[in-house]
Structures are given as C-alpha cells and as structure tokens.
Amino acid sequence: MYTTAFKKYTSGSSRFYQEACQWLPGGVSANIKYFSPYPLVMKEADGPCLIDVDGNRYIDYNLSYGALILGHGHPAIVAAIQSQLQEAGTTTFGTPHLLEQEMGQLLVQLYPSIEKVRYTHSGMEAALLAIRLATAWTGKRKIAKFEGHYHGSFDQVLVSVNPSQRSRSQAPVPTADSYGMPDEITKNTLVLPFNDMEQTKALLEKHVHEIGAVILEPVQAGFIPPDPAFLKELRKMTRKWNMVLIFDEVKTGFRMGLSGAQGFYGVSPDLTALGKVLGGGFPLGVVGGRKEIMELCSPLRGTNILSTESDGVKYKPLFHSGTHNGHPLILTAGLTTLQLLKKDKVYRDLEQNTMKLRRGMEQILEQYGLPGKTVGVGSIFNLVMTEQPVRQIQDVLQSDQALRKKLDAFLLEQGIYVKPLNRFSTAITHTSEIIGETLDRFERGIRKLTGKE
C-alpha cells in the first residue's frame, strides 16, 4: 500500500523488519503491531512525535494504543521514575509497599463504584480476573460479551471481536477469533449486539440461569458511544438477573475524565477493569469494584491454595497472583500521571483540541467529496468512511474500509502516525499548533489520495 517514494524513505524500516522476521514470528511482538507491507520501526520519540529508524518524524495519534495521554517521555514521569529508583534503592520489593496503598486509595476516591482494587500487569489480565471474580460470586459459569468488544487475547473473550457482517434481525453467532481455542468457548460465551437493547434483553433472558457476568466496553472500541439509555437498562437488567456487570474501561478510563465512562454516563458497574493511561506508559492493569466481590481474592477468605472457613462462612478459593503485581516503578508512573490529569482544565483542553482536529478532518473530507466522518468521545475517535450512523461494529464493517486503508497509507507518508483502520488518540502534547500542522498534512494526504495535487 505504500507509494514508491515512501518505500524509499522507509527502506531502513523494511530492512529491520525483514531481519526481525528471522527471530520473531511475523517480525512483531504482538499481532496488532503488524500492518502491510511492513510496519514502521521506531527508534526514538519526542513529545507528540515518533521518529523511525530512517529518521522520519511522525505526529503520533496511536500513542501506544491510547496509553500515552501525556505524550512521549513526559519530564514529570521521567523524573518521578528516577527519584523512586534512587530513593527505594531497588526496582521492586516483591512485598507490600506504600505506593500500592496510595494508588488504591486514590482509585477508590475517583471511582464511586470502586471500593477495593487488585493490580495486574495488563488490561487483559484485569478483564480475566474480573470475569473470574464475577463467575465465582454468582456461581454461574457462562459469560456474555458484546460483538466487536475487545478485552484482551484470552480464550473466554476472544469471541466475535472481529465478526463477519450479519443481518441486523439475526442475533450475533459466537465465533472464535483465533485458532487453538477450545470448541466449548463459543458455547460458554454468549455474544450480544451493542446498542440493541431488544436483542440483548431477549438473549440474556434466555440464558438467565447460566450467565454470571456481562462484560462490555461502555464505549465500544473506545469510540462508539452507547445510546443514552443503553447502559442504564443493562445495569437494571443485570442487577435483576444476578449477573455481575463489568465495565472494561481499559480504553475509556482516565480518557473520559477522572472517573471514566461510568462517571460520564452516571452508571455504576459491579466491577471495573482499568489499564492503558493508568500505567503512565508502563504495563499496569487494575480490577476494582464492590468490596464483597473483590474480597473473594483475599487470602484471608479461604486461602488461594486451601479452602478454609472464616467468619463461619464457607468461601470458595479464588486464586490470583503475579510476581510483579503492584510494581513500584509502574505505580510511580501511574500516580504521577493521575496527579497531572487532576490539574485544572487538562481534560477541557484535550477535548477542545480533539474536537478541533475532528472538525478540521471532516471539513477537508467534505471539501474533497469523500464520504467519511469522525466518531468518538473525549480524546479518542475513529475515522469511519461512511455517511451512515455508526452505532456498532456492523456499521464499521459496512463502511468503505478499503478507502480508509488507502488514506492511512497517505497519512503515514505525510507523517501522521496512525495504525491502519485504527483509532486516533490525542495527548496533552497535541497542542493547537500541532493540531493545525496535522490538518495541513491531512489535507496534503487527501490531495494525493484524490489526485487533486
């Protein structure tokens, strides 16, 4: 998809990528990092920009899949990590320490639905633990998730994340997104259509005695907002039917304000999974929620290895562990990020600049007669090549994805870094000036795409 000129500028990336293929399957460390004909290989970063091995500079709108809300190498993060290392005299203690408490207390203050937290290494592990807690709590083993919603690459949820097109009158059919998954997964994971309350209700009601947890991204893929009543209805239904409601706020947490999508929409889940922004550029996940559910993973309540009785109540053992859980350097980066995000007007400025970018892109698309619009909330959006409403993954599948991919190649060539077909996330380093520069580059890319140079 790259032009001949761009291939010339990025010959170093091509060469490094080919070499990497000798040691890494497909030359990458995660499937999502690959794109055709070869992913760009980076060697440095600076505020809003990435710099590749050929020295090309890109304004970064991928931002490590949305994690870097402060941009690259924020000086406060760098300083905090250095001083934590120096003061503690170690990278990690492998024991309880004070930062675990500090972060826990802060999260409980910021998220009204969170009473206790447990740390993990990633968003995926947070989703996994949340589901384990939920099914242990209800004693019901099956779960429900939504079509097109991503919660990590473990079997239970790697179902219908990338579905095929279907007729809207038919319910989604659970399909495994990877080879190597056990067949029974698609029987144990029910798939629901986002923003379709009628079908969702009917499906859940049919499986009311089996479904222990309903997990969803309150804003699908971080950019498709829920219909106004959708989350509230889901909350009512899950409460009535004894299903634990899990909000996976790995993308939306600390992007839609300090209390995430749940604060924004005023709906309290039972459990929440957090990650990305919270780690300040380091790998961190958190599960938080109602204390009686969270307490299931307490070693005081039926140890993880042995089932014991305490307080006269028999608790089932629920094991969860991780060598580096609550890692002090990661929590330092996370706490520093939250301190900066708590400052006045940070979210206001971020959202205003994001809106400026979105409106500018839409005006340019219109000017050049291309069908397309931005869809998003807060500081995340996507560019969907359609004029139809976008309310769920099926609408994205029906958009002109081939056109979007072509456009992405021209955007890369113009120095706008976005993973093809993926979302745009903004950072505080995307100042008004950088947004203006992005729009100039965007227009040059569109001119090339349409041949109107």
- Residue numbers annotated as active site: 150, 248, 276
d(CA 415, CA 427): 17
Least distance in angstroms from the C-beta of 424 to ligand PLP: 14
Least distance in angstroms from the C-beta of 123 to ligand PLP: 2
Q: Is 60 helix (H, G, I), strand (E, B) or coil?
A: strand
- The contact mask relative to ligand PLP for 100-139 (x = CB under 6 A, - = no) is ----------------------xxx--x------------
The candidate with the shortest Cα–Cα distance to 273, out of 142, 134, 380, is 134
In this complex, which beta carbon is closest to ligand PLP, that of residue 147 or of residue 248? Answer: 248
Interacting span for ligand PLP (CB under 6 A) from 5-13, 171-179, 245-253, 394-402: 245-253
Q: Is 331 helix (H, G, I), strand (E, B) or coil?
A: helix
Check binding of 65 to ligand PLP (CB under 6 A).
yes
Query: In angstroms, what CA-CA distances link 221 with 265, 345, 437?
Result: 16, 25, 27
Check binding of 150 to ligand PLP (CB under 6 A).
yes
Q: Rounded to the nearest 5 degrees, what angle is found at the Cα of 269, between the Cα atoms of 324 and 253? A: 55
Interacting span for ligand PLP (CB under 6 A) from 75-83, 179-187, 247-255, 393-401: 247-255
- Interface with ligand PLP (CB under 6 A), residue total 13
In this complex, which beta carbon is closest to ligand PLP, that of residue 116 or of residue 251? Answer: 251
In this complex, which beta carbon is closest to ligand PLP, that of residue 113 or of residue 122? Answer: 122
DSSP 266-281: T---SEEEE-GGGGTT
In this complex, which beta carbon is closest to ligand PLP, that of residue 260 or of residue 302? Answer: 260
Residues in Cβ contact with 357 at an 8 Å cutoff, skipping those fewer than 6 apart: 424, 426, 430, 435, 438, 439
In this complex, which beta carbon is closest to ligand PLP, that of residue 160 or of residue 438? Answer: 160
Tokens read off for 395? 């609408």
Q: What count of other Cβ atoms lies within 10 Å of the Cβ of residue 406?
A: 17
Residue nearest to ligand PLP (CB): 123
Q: Is 313 helix (H, G, I), strand (E, B) or coil?
A: strand
Q: Given candidates 132, 151, 301, 441, which one binds ligand PLP under the rule CB under 6 A?
A: 151
Check binding of 220 to ligand PLP (CB under 6 A).
no
In this complex, which beta carbon is closest to ligand PLP, that of residue 14 or of residue 426? Answer: 426
Least distance in angstroms from the C-beta of 172 to ligand PLP: 18
Least distance in angstroms from the C-beta of 425 to ligand PLP: 11
138-164: b (≥16 Cβ within 10 Å) or e:
bebebbbbbbbbbbbeebbbbbbbebe
Residues in Cβ contact with 366 at an 8 Å cutoff, skipping those fewer than 6 apart: none
Which residues of 109-158 form beta strands (DSSP E)?
Answer: 116-120, 142-146
Least distance in angstroms from the C-beta of 307 to ligand PLP: 30
Query: Half-sphere exposure of residue 218, counting CA atoms within 13 Å on the CB side?
Result: 34
Tokens read off for 181? 């998954």
Check binding of 217 to ligand PLP (CB under 6 A).
yes
The candidate with the shortest Cα–Cα distance to 293, out of 243, 332, 345, is 243
Interacting span for ligand PLP (CB under 6 A) from 70-78, 146-154, 253-261, 326-334: 146-154
Q: Given candidates 104, 152, 280, 376, which one binds ligand PLP under the rule CB under 6 A?
A: 152
Q: Is 162 helix (H, G, I), strand (E, B) or coil?
A: coil
- Using CB under 6 A as the binding rule, the residues of this chain from 248 to 287 that contact ligand PLP are 248, 250-251, 275
Query: In angstroms, what CA-CA distances link 205 with 168, 209, 213, 234?
Result: 19, 9, 13, 12
Residues in Cβ contact with 67 at an 8 Å cutoff, skipping those fewer than 6 apart: 275, 276, 277, 279, 281
Interacting span for ligand PLP (CB under 6 A) from 68-76, 129-137, 244-252, 262-270: 244-252
Interacting span for ligand PLP (CB under 6 A) from 84-92, 108-116, 145-153, 430-438: 145-153
Least distance in angstroms from the C-beta of 150 to ligand PLP: 5
Least distance in angstroms from the C-beta of 331 to ligand PLP: 16
In this complex, which beta carbon is closest to ligand PLP, that of residue 152 or of residue 372? Answer: 152
Residues binding ligand PLP (CB under 6 A): 65, 122-124, 127, 150-152, 217, 248, 250-251, 275
